[in-house]
Amino acid sequence: MTHKKNRLRVIPLGGLEEIGKNMTVFEYGNDMVVIDAGIMFPDDAHPGVDLILPDYSYILKRVDKLRGIIITHGHEDHTGALPYLLKDLGESVPVLGTRLTLGLIKGKLEEHGINKPKLREIRSGMHVNLGSFGFDFIAVNHSIPDSVAVVIRTSFGNILHTGDFKFDQTPVDGRQTDYQELAKLGKQGLLMLLSDSTNAETPGTTKSESVVGPTLQSIMSEANQRVIIASFASHIHRLQQVCDAAIACGRKVVVTGRSMINNVKIARTLGYLDIDDANIVDAYTAGEIPADKVCVLSTGSQGEPLSALSRMASGEHRAVQIQSGDTVIISASPVPGNEKAVGKVINRLVKLGAEVFHKSFAPVHVSGHAAAEELKLMINLVNPEYFVPVHGESRHLHAHAKCAVTVGVASENIFIMENGECLEISDRGVKISEKVQSGVVYVDGIGVGDVGKHVLKDRHLLAKDGIVTIVFAFDSRTKKVASDIELIMRGVTLADDDVLHSDTRERIRKTLDKVVRDDGVSTEDIERAVRDSVSNMLWDRTRRRPMVVPVVMEVN
């Protein structure tokens, strides 16, 4: 029987059957390392929720084994949970990442009051040891500079975690995926590959990031007024192309949106974004420059309600107001779930007279993820014995598994996993063993983990059917209502109908007459009876079940 200490366990805590909150644990004996710590952004199913974190309680319970956290690149779906994780773990846990990745992380940690994190810079081609694990880092292309794939050296063999990647033959910064190292790894023998599945359903190959620049410059050169470009603030390659196109067209660059301003500053300081001070102007002074000499670089490509572009579309931005004839370019794809929000922003912009370009009309965006043929190329280069598709919804994982089969990976050696499942590697082979605690943690305002399913259910109910509040005093001696019944309806169909209010009050009195016949009836019993009775009545009248909140004040 294999001893537990001689097992290598691979445990995804996030990133499977979803887009975002990527986090994977590698555990062997008394050592544990985490790769990535990301967040997921909420959609309509999460009213009031700001961010969604992976449930990392498995890590917290084994903090004495944690040797470090490795971040593959600087996107928030790989870094965003770090502030919360480090607050729970303490700042002494080392966080490893490339120069730009750490620069972006440091700024985010400072916002959360974490001022002395233990950050350790890595580079492609570098080797580090963390406990019984060895790690090598391989340069890969993505939509942010300094992305790396991670090679995990173990006593059972080598494992490759690709992080997010694509094969870009003409990258903006000239830094290509390191094909030689990948092929070398394949010749050495690769036990297992964990590979990005985001674009597994997309046939062919993903276009080079460099095709976007000429398109942006062409649109900009034909625009007669301001050009406003919305992109992800972390998409530094895209920001560089926007700046290059603006300068070529004789335009000054205006940066707006908190995350955009922060990331531009960090990228320029670290040397990843090249633009002279003379070509960047403050948003509040941009009005003094002719409209055809201005390019606004903005957040809001996902239709976020408080983003700079959304505020422009609503006429609420303090420095930039949309004018008829302005050109707006949305240089990003909507993250699944954000399509409606983006559509609303586009409609508002068009209504204000702007001409809007997005990827449906022009190649103003390309993906940072490998398409099907690139995924096959990765598998062929590294030739893994076992394969685990990661980073994607169920359909992406299954599509990626099919790609692996077509290039020769045995189907019995492919593991399509769920968050929390343990992939156990031992001298007896590889198998999926028990499942550990996993799931989601909601960030709601300053609360972390305070929002549960019951809170979301209540919020959905309030949004859908409204709320009815009933307040009255009850004399426990006479067993009668000792005050007027105050009835407040919000968001309820026919809420302004006097007859409905009158009938509801009468229903409450009849209910009380029945309930108080029993000796020893409590305030809770009265509230429960009133709630059920009013709810049933409103269902009969409106075919809706609003939240009914009775407040009974007992008097003697």
Tell me if 252 sits within 8 A of 280, measured CB to CB.
Answer: yes
- Asked whether 331 and 230 are in contact (CB, 8 A), the reply is yes
φ, ψ dihedrals at 297, nearest 5°: -100, 120
Residues facing residue 475 across a β-bridge = 480, 555
SS3 sequence of 125-170: CCEEEECCEEEEEEECECCCCCCEEEEEEECCEEEEECCCCECCCC
Catalytic-labelled residue, pool 55, 136, 196, 444: 196
496 torsion bin: left (phi>0), alpha (psi -120 to 50), beta (else)? alpha
* Nearest alpha carbon to residue 19 among 43, 47, 40, 45: 40
Say if residues 298 and 228 touch (Cβ distance below 8 Å): yes
Domain 4-205+367-448 CATH (choose: 3.90.226.10, 3.40.50.150, 3.60.15.10, 3.20.20.330): 3.60.15.10
Please name which of 74, 82, 30 lies closest in space to residue 54, comparing C-alpha atoms: 82
Q: Are 168 and 176 in contact, with CB atoms under 8 Å apart?
A: yes
- Secondary structure string (H, E, C) spanning 79-129: HCCHHHHHHHHCCCCEEEECHHHHHHHHHHHHHCCCCCCEEEECCCCCEEE
Q: Which pair of tokens denotes residue 500?
A: 């409905």
Q: How far is CA 39 from CA 57, 350, 359, in A?
A: 15, 32, 25
Cα torsion through 107, 108, 112, 117, rounded to 10: -70
E-assigned strand segments in 266-382: 280-281, 294-298, 327-330, 355-357
Q: How far apart are CA 486 and CA 469, in angstroms?
A: 8
- Pick the closest to residue 292 from 322, 252, 332 (CA basis): 252
The number of helix segments (H) and strand segments (E) in the chain equals 15, 27
CA–CA distance, 347 with 93 (Å, rounded to integer): 47
DSSP per residue, 9-29: EEEEEESBSSSS--EEEEEET
CB contact burial 103-127 (16+ within 10 A = b; e otherwise): bbbbebbeeeebeebebeebebeee
Catalytic residue among 73, 235, 369, 396: 369
Nearest residue to 54 via CA among 25, 29, 91 = 25
* C-beta of residue 31 within 8 angstroms of C-beta of residue 7: no
- Determine how many CB atoms are found less than 10 A away from the CB of residue 77: 25
Find, among 498, 472, 470, the residue nearest to 484 by Cα: 472
Check residue 242 and give its pLDDT.
Answer: 96
369 catalytic residue (yes or no): yes
Q: Could you tell me the two tokens for 195?
A: 């590979």
CA 546 to chain centroid, in Å, comes to 32
* Rounded Cα–Cα distance for residues 549 and 467 (Å): 8
Q: How far from the centroid of its chain's Cα atoms is residue 256's Cα?
A: 21
Decide yes or no: CATH 3.40.605.10 for domain 209-357.
no
Residue 196 among the catalytic residues: yes
Buried b (16+ CB within 10 A) or exposed e, 409-442: beeebbbbbebbbbbbbbeeebeeeeebebebbb
- C-alpha span between 419 and 440 (Å, rounded): 10
Q: What is the mean pLDDT of each run of 10 residues along the chain (556 residues)?
A: 71 92 95 94 61 89 95 94 91 94 93 90 96 97 96 96 97 94 96 97 96 95 95 93 96 93 94 94 87 94 88 91 94 83 93 92 91 98 97 96 97 96 92 88 62 62 77 76 79 73 83 73 82 86 82 77
Whether the model clears a pTM of 0.85, i.e. scores above it, the answer is: no
pLDDT value of residue 1? 40
Alpha-carbon span 320 to 314, nearest angstrom: 11
Domain boundaries, the chain: 4-205+367-448, 209-357, 453-555
3-state SS of 431-466? EEEEECCCCEEEEECCEECCCCHHHHHHHHHHHHHC
- Is the domain spanning 453-555 CATH 3.40.50.720? The answer is no
